């Protein structure tokens, strides 16, 4: 079979199941594509091809025996090099050079459930240190480039996974999302980044199992099709004994891609009230919104009800992450490595160090509760909108892909339309739904005049994941994006 790299994850699994191609042939094609494309993109920080080929051989034997096969049987995938683990594989927490020899001895929930579904892991993908920004770059491995323009960044913090999927190295890969880290790189790479409702998929954070609510942290996938995101949700959802916040609600979303959105009420916010948006992004998204009306939905321009300056909201997000990062550094220090010391601090970005050292020591319980009150304001605003509308749509991010830096410190823009913003996360209003826990997805809205991708963000009521996926699928039918991958030449 030719063009294996153009198949979606579900198409790949079906071809293996029907013996049109073997899992070994699929894996060999993926490895060849990685060896060709990754030197130009820097999506991977670790690969384990021999292990993956052994697993593919085992997958072929399962097909030959007539075993019951999982929905992703034989499909190559990858995990993000941040807080997730696989025994024997290194974990650098986002390219921290002092952790290059840090070998995991346990398996995270994402790996466990995806392997149970038949997927085969080929390696780990690049991310920024501690995932603390909307781009992918770090001291140890450098930036991950955008497949549509290798001088520009793939977005973050799951940028390695997004670049691998967009470029055809893999049909799907892991993303984690504490402020938009699945959806931001999806917007910049013409891929689908779905993030489920709070509590639907487990996140096994340690040593503090409750840190995944401050703000909400999620595990999910980056794919090229909405259907792959639907199938992945079916694999990942459901309670896990290691996550005290994950509920046992399991729904069948298999029809979400077909049921349509006729009669749905959709609120369109061009700028989430307070976030400046680059003209190229605005133009693409405002045109793309028309597809929902063609699909039979009722679309109205709305206000969300956010009344603070956008910088206040992004500062709250950064402050909420500071205790998580400090706690992680303290845990590493207990093992004998002080990453904040003069000897080792060069492995962390200046911005991360600034937040951890400037804010961290004095961040009190009173400060935390004040920030959680702002977070509650955002939650109440969204809930008020959902009293009238089924979905909220907006730009995923407010800026086009930025140029890669050369010092390991690529950031987003510091100003849009003359307005100062936080270059770490201020151009990524995706973090608002990490405050609230509503399900959301970024789908490709189209290409700007620069030829670079723009993302459209769809948010639904809490636990209404099916509505979000149905809208994404309806949009995909009316404004397909698969043809844009042909523009990638690597």
Query: Residue length, the chain?
Result: 490
The CA distance from 163 to 11, in Å, is 20
Q: Which of 55, 145, 157, 314 is catalytic?
A: 157
Only one residue has tokens 């939905």, namely: 297
Say whether 395 sits in a helix, a strand or coil: strand
The CA distance from 401 to 331, in Å, is 35
Smallest Cα–Cα separation from 158: which of 141, 142, 173, 147?
173
269 is catalytic: no
Smallest Cα–Cα separation from 415: which of 423, 403, 425, 404?
423
**Do residues 109 and 242 make contact, with C-beta atoms less than 8 angstroms apart?**
yes
Token pair of 256, please?
């979400």
453-460 and 218-223 beta bridge pairing? unpaired
Q: How many CB atoms lie within 10 A of CB 205?
A: 21
Only one residue has tokens 């992703």, namely: 72
The CA distance from 127 to 136, in Å, is 5
Q: How many CB atoms lie within 10 A of CB 248?
A: 9
Q: How many CB atoms lie within 10 A of CB 154?
A: 38
The CA distance from 206 to 141, in Å, is 25
Smallest Cα–Cα separation from 326: which of 313, 312, 338, 316?
338
As a whole number of Å, the end-to-end CA separation of the chain is 21
The neighbouring-strand residues paired with 443 are 456
Q: Which of 80, 86, 124, 411 is catalytic?
A: 80
Q: Which of 22, 167, 181, 197 is catalytic?
A: 181
80 is catalytic: yes
Residue 455 parent element (H or E): strand 453-460
CA contacts within 13 A on the Cβ side of 55: 20
The CA distance from 205 to 211, in Å, is 7
Per-residue three-class SS string for 33-92: HHHHHHHHHCCEEEECHHHHHHHHHHHHHHHHHCCCCCCCCCCEEEEECCCCCCCCCECC
157 is catalytic: yes
The neighbouring-strand residues paired with 146 are 149
Q: Residue 373 CA to chain centroid, in angstroms?
A: 26
Fill in the DSSP letter of residue 171: S
**Do residues 141 and 126 make contact, with C-beta atoms less than 8 angstroms apart?**
yes
Which residue numbers are catalytic?
80, 157, 181
């Amino acid at each position: 079979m030719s063009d294996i790299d153009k198949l979606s994850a579900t198409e790949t699994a079906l071809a293996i199941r029907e013996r049109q191609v073997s899992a070994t042939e699929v894996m060999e094609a993926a490895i060849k594509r990685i060896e060709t494309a990754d030197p130009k993109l820097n999506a991977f920080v670790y690969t384990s091809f021999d292990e993956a080929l052994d697993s593919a051989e085992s997958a072929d034997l399962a097909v030959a025996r007539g075993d019951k096969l999982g929905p992703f049987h034989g499909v190559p995938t990858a995990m993000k090099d941040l807080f997730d683990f696989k025994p024997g594989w290194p974990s650098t927490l986002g390219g921290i050079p002092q952790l290059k020899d840090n070998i995991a001895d346990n398996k995270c929930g994402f790996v466990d459930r995806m392997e149970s579904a038949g997927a085969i892991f080929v390696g780990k993908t690049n991310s920024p240190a501690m995932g603390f920004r909307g781009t992918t770059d770090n001291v140890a491995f450098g930036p991950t480039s955008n497949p549509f323009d290798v001088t520009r960044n793939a977005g973050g913090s799951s940028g390695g996974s997004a670049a691998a999927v967009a470029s055809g190295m893999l049909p799907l890969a892991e993303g984690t999302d504490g402020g938009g880290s699945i959806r931001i790189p999806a917007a910049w790479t013409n891929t689908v980044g779905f993030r489920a409702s709070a509590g639907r998929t487990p996140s096994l954070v340690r040593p503090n199992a409750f840190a995944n609510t401050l703000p909400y942290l999620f595990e999910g996938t980056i794919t090229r099709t909405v259907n792959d995101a639907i199938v992945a949700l079916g694999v990942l959802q459901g309670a896990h004994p290691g996550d005290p916040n994950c509920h046992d609600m399991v729904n069948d979303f298999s029809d979400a891609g077909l049921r349509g959105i006729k009669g749905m009420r959709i609120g369109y916010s061009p700028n989430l009230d307070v976030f400046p948006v680059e003209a190229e992004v605005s133009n693409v998204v405002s045109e793309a919104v028309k597809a929902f009306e063609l699909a039979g939905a009722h679309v109205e321009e709305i206000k969300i009800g956010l009344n603070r300056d956008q910088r206040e909201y992004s500062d709250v997000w950064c402050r909420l992450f500071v205790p998580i990062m400090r706690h992680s550094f303290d845990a590493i220090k207990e093992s004998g490595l002080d990453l904040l010391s003069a000897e080792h601090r060069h492995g962390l970005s200046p911005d991360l160090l600034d937040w951890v050292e400037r804010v961290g020591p004095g961040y009190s319980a009173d400060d935390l509760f004040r920030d959680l009150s702002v977070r509650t304001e955002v939650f109440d605003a969204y809930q008020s909108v959902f009293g009238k509308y089924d979905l909220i749509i907006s730009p995923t991010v407010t800026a086009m892909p930025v140029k890669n830096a050369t010092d390991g410190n690529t950031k987003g823009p510091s100003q849009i339309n003359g307005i100062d913003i936080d270059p770490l996360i201020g151009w990524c209003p995706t973090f608002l739904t990490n405050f609230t826990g509503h399900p959301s997805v970024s789908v490709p809205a189209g290409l700007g005049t620069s030829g670079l991708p723009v993302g459209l963000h769809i948010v639904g009521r809490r636990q209404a994941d099916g509505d979000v996926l149905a809208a994404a699928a309806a949009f995909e039918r009316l404004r397909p994006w698969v043809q844009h991958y042909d523009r990638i030449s690597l």
